[in-house]
Chains A and B, each alone.
Chain A
């Protein structure tokens, strides 16, 4: 049997890749859209559905950024509601470790796992900035260099809480009158740099024991964090060679944590555009790119690099000839764009601007066309057969264990993939035709959670 592909469906997010101007684009907030999207992914036998998290609306130039889809429900809340209208598909959500407390997060995820029959997953992310903190009790309290420490302690604490109940603790035996084996089940005490908590965790062990843990992070710290404690990692490496390099690197780190290569699934994010022929697909992709990067969005993207107002620049003209502003420290909140993780990627904006300018001059491209070239590339463009072949090749050649697919239309954007590509993957024998297990751990081919300890006490 060929290596099995794992697929996740990412509900279109609040950025420019989600096209809202298309007549097919529906509500991004009504439950019906989430239901349709989740049921399509389940029809396609996807491993899990993924919803990102919102903590603050983005801003640019001191004003709320108004060009992209914005406004979303609480993601864990929606996942829990989706458990009512789906049966098999995993339910994964991002919950940040900075503006939450471990008891609350662990309880929510354990509840989601109970009330979905073992389908919960948590994408653990870090954040630290004052901008986001303005919506929360503690403000921007966490220094940047402590964000991974906090995330690690948040995760290990949550795991200790989940492990605090034995799997067979609840007897619920009316005849003998014993509900629990131990009257004080769930007792724990944890003292670490970030947390000093004790008492009893209120939720009995959930079907998966520990919900599936997902991490995203490309840095050295992020890779180590994932290798030590994640079940899946989200990456951006959706190109074959880079993917293989990342895959080999991360999988090689597992042994020192006593883990096997199959204990961590590597899932790059990917977009797709299909067509009946290669040229039709290419034309479709071009049209989507122009929808994703309208004139105003092109200027907004350029502003993120130039770090200044560019409203007087013509998006259909050349890339600006002047250099970006670099006085402000991007991380300390001086940047024109706020609440957007990707801005931190422009480590050297002057070099980025030069690169854009050279590309524009070399190929005679306008600013908008350069932005499209730089930011609007789709991962898979082609006929369903071509896309299925590419995905399979990727997985079989150890560039990934599958993909997190994000369509550009809500809520129907996953339908073409489900109807046209999934059957071809199934024909190859590298993707399931029916769900075989009950839990997300089983879908992902992960081992059951470690069994538990009766009393948990962690000192760090």
Chain B
């Protein structure tokens, strides 16, 4: 079996000094062309998907760092019509958004891309983000409660996606009926944080259920993924808030344990390892690049994911070992998009292909298809 390869896009890259690098185009960060070009590069590399980072709050108050952020869902929608195979997975903060709106937005992304939409859910853990909404008090709720809310948020999105059966639209001229309302369903979700009646305003999207994913470092997050996601991004050899996350094997064991404890049905989670990459022709050259970037920023690069400074061969080795452990693939975070993304698509991908670990052409049209996931039956259909 081959592995799945994703890239996590975040502005000019994951290194705070990335915007100062040659080709970084920092002045175009808020234009469509900047994102379109990144997506075209990623799609040329036959990647399964890109994720697009998001947060309502800004990451820094330093004038020498690239600041400012556009809505990730809208970035995905803007690049949707100019790509044709790659999956698009914007980040959505569950704590401050309406599940109804998010469900219809992701369904719309799925329509625009004819089946390439996904969503990465994220719990808000920053006081400044709460203050931007002024609706909830930061710290007033437990971590568990916020993750439960995220699980409810996913559940509502999913029920709304299914709330129109595929053949609900009938256009029956004889009776004057446009839909068969017996095939539209109230979802009647009632939870601790919100209730949603339904049905959706948007018919069932092309994939039926767009792909749901989450990044997780700790049990409570693995549990969230086990309850509601199709993919989980994890950080082997990385560091979460609670300390080191452990190696791929240990993480996989934890994820499977959570799946068992929540009684997950159907397909098991695809577990994808995150890796922040600084790539060059030699390990020394890569280390020099990182040192130069760190010097420009004035701080050493820190990340929750393992930082790999080396050649594409080094990355391929790590991915191969993860794969042997049972991870489904990797999500790479390019330190400098302008430099490292092309290294991934033009050098790492051919290397993985040589090793027989990666596809040589897209063989599916949908994001679910890339992961071998069938189009699911509608939970409300009576057949």
A56-B201, A136-B98, A137-B193 known; A202 vs B164 contact (CB < 8 Å): no
Q: How far is the CB of A179 from chain B (nearest CB, A)?
A: 5
- Of B81, B176, B181, B198, the residue contacting A297 (CB under 8 A) is B176
- Of A56, A83, A111, A186, the residue contacting B58 (CB under 8 A) is A186
Segment 19-77 of B: residues with Cβ below 8 Å from A: 19-21, 24, 26-27, 29-32, 35-36, 55-58, 60-71, 73-75, 77
Q: How large is the interface on B (under 10, 10 to 19, 20 to 34, 35 or more residues)?
A: 35 or more
- Chain A, residue nearest B110 (CB): A73
- Of A29, A107, A182, A196, the residue contacting B202 (CB under 8 A) is A29
A115-B32, A115-B70, A174-B26 known; A74 vs B179 contact (CB < 8 Å): no
For residue B184, CB closer than 8 A to chain A, the reply is yes
B residues in contact with A295, CB < 8 Å? 176
Segment 69-124 of B: residues with Cβ below 8 Å from A: 69-71, 73-75, 77-82, 96-98, 100-101, 104-105, 107-109, 111-112, 114
Query: Is there contact, CB below 8 Å, between B107 and A180?
Result: no
Segment 89-144 of A: residues with Cβ below 8 Å from B: 99-101, 103-104, 107-108, 110-112, 114-117, 134-137, 139
The winner among B19, B31, B111, B168 for most chain A CB atoms within 10 A is B111
A residues in contact with B171, CB < 8 Å? 20-21
A71-B201, A139-B195 known; A115 vs B74 contact (CB < 8 Å): yes
B residues in contact with A181, CB < 8 Å? 63
A54–B101 Cα distance when bound, in Å, is 10
A31-B112, A64-B181 known; A57 vs B32 contact (CB < 8 Å): no
Q: Residues 59-90 of chain A: 1 if any B CB is under 8 Å from the residue's CB, otherwise 0?
A: 00001101111111110111011011100000
- Chain B, residue nearest A185 (CB): B67
Query: Is there contact, CB below 8 Å, between B81 and A31?
Result: yes
A71-B164, A71-B169, A74-B105 known; A107 vs B71 contact (CB < 8 Å): yes
A134-B197, A182-B63 known; A83 vs B32 contact (CB < 8 Å): yes
B residues in contact with A57, CB < 8 Å? 184, 199, 201
Query: Is there contact, CB below 8 Å, between B67 and A115?
Result: no
For residue A418, CB closer than 8 A to chain B, the reply is no
For residue B180, CB closer than 8 A to chain A, the reply is yes
A128–B338 Cα distance when bound, in Å, is 48
Query: Is there contact, CB below 8 Å, between B178 and A70?
Result: yes
A295–B181 Cα distance when bound, in Å, is 19
Query: Is there contact, CB below 8 Å, between B69 and A203?
Result: yes
Q: How far is the CB of B153 from chain A (nearest CB, A)?
A: 10
- Of A77, A182, A195, the residue contacting B112 (CB under 8 A) is A77
Query: Is there contact, CB below 8 Å, between A74 and B62?
Result: no
A85–B333 Cα distance when bound, in Å, is 29
For residue A433, CB closer than 8 A to chain B, the reply is no
Segment 359-381 of A: residues with Cβ below 8 Å from B: none
Query: Is there contact, CB below 8 Å, between B111 and A29?
Result: yes
A78-B108, A80-B77 known; A180 vs B63 contact (CB < 8 Å): yes
A154–B287 Cα distance when bound, in Å, is 49
For residue A184, CB closer than 8 A to chain B, the reply is yes
B residues in contact with A30, CB < 8 Å? 111
For residue A296, CB closer than 8 A to chain B, the reply is yes
A72-B201, A199-B131 known; A66 vs B78 contact (CB < 8 Å): no
Which of B132-140, B222-230, B251-259, B356-364 is the interface stretch? B132-140
Query: Is there contact, CB below 8 Å, between B19 and A174?
Result: yes
A78-B112, A177-B296, A199-B128 known; A71 vs B202 contact (CB < 8 Å): yes
A114-B31, A170-B27 known; A81 vs B63 contact (CB < 8 Å): no
The winner among A73, A101, A116 for most chain B CB atoms within 10 A is A73
A106–B71 Cα distance when bound, in Å, is 10
Q: How far is the CB of B149 from chain A (nearest CB, A)?
A: 10
Q: Residues 201-222 of chain A: 1 if any B CB is under 8 Å from the residue's CB, otherwise 0?
A: 0111010000000000000000
Query: Is there contact, CB below 8 Å, between B107 and A73?
Result: yes
Count residues on chain A whose CB falls below 8 Å from chain B CBs.
75
The winner among B35, B36, B96, B203 for most chain A CB atoms within 10 A is B203
The winner among B61, B82, B132, B193 for most chain A CB atoms within 10 A is B132
B residues in contact with A66, CB < 8 Å? 177-181
Query: Is there contact, CB below 8 Å, between A101 and B135?
Result: yes
For residue A55, CB closer than 8 A to chain B, the reply is yes
Query: Is there contact, CB below 8 Å, between A73 and B108?
Result: yes
Q: Residues 340-363 of chain B: 1 if any A CB is under 8 Å from the residue's CB, otherwise 0?
A: 000000000000000000000000
Query: Is there contact, CB below 8 Å, between A77 and B24?
Result: no
B residues in contact with A70, CB < 8 Å? 178-179
Query: Is there contact, CB below 8 Å, between A84 and B32?
Result: yes
A residues in contact with B184, CB < 8 Å? 57, 64
B residues in contact with A179, CB < 8 Å? 19, 26, 63-67
For residue A453, CB closer than 8 A to chain B, the reply is no
- Of A80, A135, A174, A199, the residue contacting B78 (CB under 8 A) is A80
Q: How far is the CB of A271 from chain B (nearest CB, A)?
A: 20
A73-B108, A108-B74 known; A135 vs B179 contact (CB < 8 Å): no
A67–B176 Cα distance when bound, in Å, is 6
Q: How far is the CB of B296 from chain A (nearest CB, A)?
A: 7
- Chain B, residue nearest A99 (CB): B98
- Chain B, residue nearest A202 (CB): B69
Query: Is there contact, CB below 8 Å, between A177 and B64?
Result: yes
- Of B20, B65, B199, the residue contacting A174 (CB under 8 A) is B20
Q: List 11 A-B contacts (CB under 8 A).
A: A55-B100, A67-B178, A70-B178, A73-B104, A83-B78, A84-B79, A115-B35, A179-B67, A186-B58, A199-B128, A202-B55
Inter-chain pairs besides A55-B201, A111-B70, A183-B67, 19 sampled, C-beta below 8 Å: A31-B81, A67-B176, A71-B164, A71-B201, A73-B107, A73-B111, A76-B74, A77-B77, A80-B77, A108-B74, A110-B70, A114-B32, A115-B31, A115-B70, A172-B29, A202-B58, A203-B68, A294-B176, A296-B177
A residues in contact (CB < 8 Å) with B: 20-21, 29-31, 35, 54-57, 63-64, 66-74, 76-78, 80-81, 83-85, 99-101, 103-104, 107-108, 110-112, 114-117, 134-137, 139, 170, 172, 174, 177-186, 195-200, 202-204, 206, 294-297
